[in-house]
Amino acid sequence: MKAVKVQYTVNPNFIEENKNNIKRVMEALRANPIEGMKYASFTDGSEDNTFVHINMAKDEETMSKLNDLEEFIEFRKALKASKPLKPPKQTTLMLVDAGFDLI
């Protein structure tokens, strides 16, 4: 299994647009799920303009399928064009254990 966290901070005037762009990605994933992948997005509890995305997939190949999703491509373009206060930083997560069946 592979898991990554991506965190970034947007300008306050981009919060709602970013949320809407994320919603489009999630709607596309619900309509056409990528088998073997779970993907979610959150805001930091203390900062509404800091976003955290968690992607868990059975392997690198499965995880990379997200990059082919048109809505995800558009989300990334819009985020880059918005000139975030803190650009996306990816961290690889190492699983210790889980209270649910893994992918």
Is residue 51 domain-resident? yes
| Range(s) of the domain holding residue 28 | 2-93
Q: Would you say the pTM of this structure is higher than 0.85?
A: yes
Q: In this structure, what is the dihedral angle of CA atoms 17, 20, 24, 29, given to the nearest 10 degrees?
A: 120
CATH number at residue 79: 3.30.70.100
Residue 60 domain flag: yes
- Report how many domains make up the chain: 1
Distances (CA, A) of 79 to 14, 35, 54, 66, 94: 9, 26, 17, 16, 27
Using CA atoms, how far residue 21 sits from 77, 79, 92, 97, in Å, is: 10, 9, 24, 32
Q: What is the pLDDT of residues 38-57, one digit of tens each?
A: 999 999 888 899 999 999 99
Task: Read off the pLDDT band of 27 (50, 70, 90).
Answer: very high
Q: Is the pLDDT of residue 93 over 90?
A: yes
Task: Identify the pLDDT of residue 101.
Answer: 82
φ, ψ for residue 76, nearest 5 deg: -65, -40
